[in-house]
Chain A
């Protein structure tokens, strides 16, 4: 789960990483009063869960209250990469003499934390790495040891820092690493980390993404998923515990695994258009499949449902009962094709057939998609 800049700022502040003073506003008037309290000039910054805010015009400098009001009005009506701006941050302008990049992420393949520091900042780390690879220093960290101050200092030395500056940035790097660990982050990033005229270092942006599987350990952060997922169907999927991704076609897809779901989408895409990707993971029950049917049929214009499930950990015969209950209660008349194999397959087929579902018993998803095409063309 990605955090908004203001949420990241709060965490940074609690963990001793210097951030500018900041306030939030959701109306132009509010923005103006916050700016007045803070003193001009201020930055008006869109709070959205995506990068590229500067380029999109979502971060601007305002040196008078009218401008704060106008810019807040404009930014609060914006969408940046599809994300509507609901709040702006008001923060004092910071004069910087140098910009750095500091980040901690996961080296997925090697399975350990990776600390990144660069004497360039402001643009994305991928751009920095592509344009000025020599300015980027990375360090894998043994998770049982953590980022030792000596390692952080060595990294600072390698990007050209010396003396007090080296010590200050090393301290921030160690704090950033502890944010990464304490909050189960996938990424904790300061970009840019600026050096001010007075020689201080301040985090001018905060990008933190928390591992969804760790949210149970961070209930105290009160992170609402509603403010983060803009697609209502994807949000509903999350709420019932499945992964739903809306696509632009009209054949609903329900699969019992991500791989099988993607394969189904790939195969359907050859001849038809999938309305969605949906995978249940290993948590199928009759109740879940009932809700899943309800979810995929909420999308307008769906003209068929394609179900592809395996009975490994999932009790697919229970799942089939939920599907059939939904069909009967809601008098579903669009065609449904189901391929279901594995434990309890015969029982599952019988349940599906009792509600007029077209059952495919062949192992190949390709065969099931052919069946779907036939059914839609009225040949079966």
Chain B
């Protein structure tokens, strides 16, 4: 089972003819992803890695019943592509693209919500249902099949924590990178809800970082709704105040006093979540929780 994505999901690659689109299509196919079509406006008729390319998502949906779409589209083109994909009937979209204007993100988010479409991202490493399929850029070798669900705001740390867990013998069911922009299409608690319901997941790991209120909101959700154990790791404990540490979300608003790593750790601990200070420490906490569960 797992969440969001499995080996049968019919995936289209939006922006398949670009550099990243081509390379990542190859990796996704090698991993076992059921890629049925690619889309690049004006490149219909081409074939990339054996995958037929169409001009519009509409054609890909009509000819191949594509149901999910992964985006390798430049920032300025994401809004139009998203609306086309949603209008074509795609139900799951993963946006890998970084640096999308936040006003576009807000517009896409509202449009997708109205049409009941799940979008993950932006600046997302993607979704990997380990051993079955992946949509995005996650290097498959970092993951091992198992029963831990992982949600990360950071792409690179989703690899690091999964790799640490795998080395210690704890595989993952599905790993979801929600992205760390200030506004994301799908918030952390929405993914927690999916893992809570997933029969193939026993424990959930949250990888968070400074900025925003995703982790604080996750704490509220966990307190009310989660029966499965949750372990967290929050990075940026020593990040200086009011500095943008990379993606736009990772900023401590000194003047607001919200979104600090310390505040997130406290909020999660208060609802019984074990919180690691460093990535490798996650393994110890997972071990402890699974033994007592």
Contact = CB atoms under 8 A, between A and B. Distances in A.
Contacts of A216: 76
B137 A259 contact: no
Given A260-B154, A263-B279, A106 B235 contact: no
Interface string B240-254: 100111111110000
Interface in B206-240: 207, 209-210, 212-214, 217, 235-240
Interface string A245-289: 101000000011111111101110100000001010110000000
A124 interface: yes
Nearest to A255: B156
B100 A213 contact: yes
B44 interface: no
A366 B245 contact: no
A216 to B, nearest CB: 7
A144 B111 contact: yes
A311 B20 CA distance: 12
Interface of A is mostly: mixed
A262 B250 contact: yes
Interface stretch (A56-64, A108-116, A371-379): A108-116
A311 B245 CA distance: 20
Nearest to B138: A312
A245 B159 contact: no
B255 interface: yes
Contacts of B255: 51, 124, 126
Interface stretch (B9-17, B33-41, B101-109): B101-109
Interface in B122-165: 125, 137-139, 141-142, 152-157, 159-160, 163-164
A257 B246 contact: yes
Given A112-B106, A256-B156, A313-B96, A266 B278 contact: yes
A121 B155 CA distance: 41
Given A214-B103, A260-B157, A364 B142 contact: no
A212 B180 CA distance: 15
B278 A184 contact: no
Interface in B242-293: 243-250, 255-257, 277-280
B95 to A, nearest CB: 13
Instruction: Classify chain B's interface size.
Output: 35 or more
A300 interface: no
B239 A212 contact: no
B183 interface: yes
Given A111-B183, A312-B137, A263 B107 contact: no
B251 to A, nearest CB: 10
A113 B182 CA distance: 13
Contacts of B198: none
A56 B110 CA distance: 42
Interface residues of A, number: 54
Contacts of A144: 107, 110-111
A124 B139 CA distance: 45
A365 interface: yes
A96 interface: no
A106 B250 CA distance: 16
B58 interface: no
Contact of B137 (A111, A277, A313): A313
Contacts of B185: 111
B64 interface: no
A223 B172 CA distance: 46
A186 interface: yes
Given A266-B238, A267-B278, A112 B142 contact: no
Nearest to A215: B101
A109 B139 contact: no
A342 interface: yes
A254 B89 CA distance: 42
B182 to A, nearest CB: 5
B98 to A, nearest CB: 6
A142 interface: yes
Given A108-B249, A181-B103, A213-B102, 10 more contacts: A109-B214, A144-B111, A243-B246, A259-B153, A277-B243, A282-B98, A310-B142, A313-B125, A313-B137, A367-B280
24 contacts: A106-B183, A108-B212, A109-B214, A184-B101, A211-B102, A212-B248, A243-B246, A247-B240, A255-B156, A257-B156, A257-B157, A258-B209, A258-B247, A259-B157, A260-B156, A262-B236, A312-B138, A313-B20, A341-B142, A363-B142, A363-B166, A365-B160, A365-B279, A366-B280
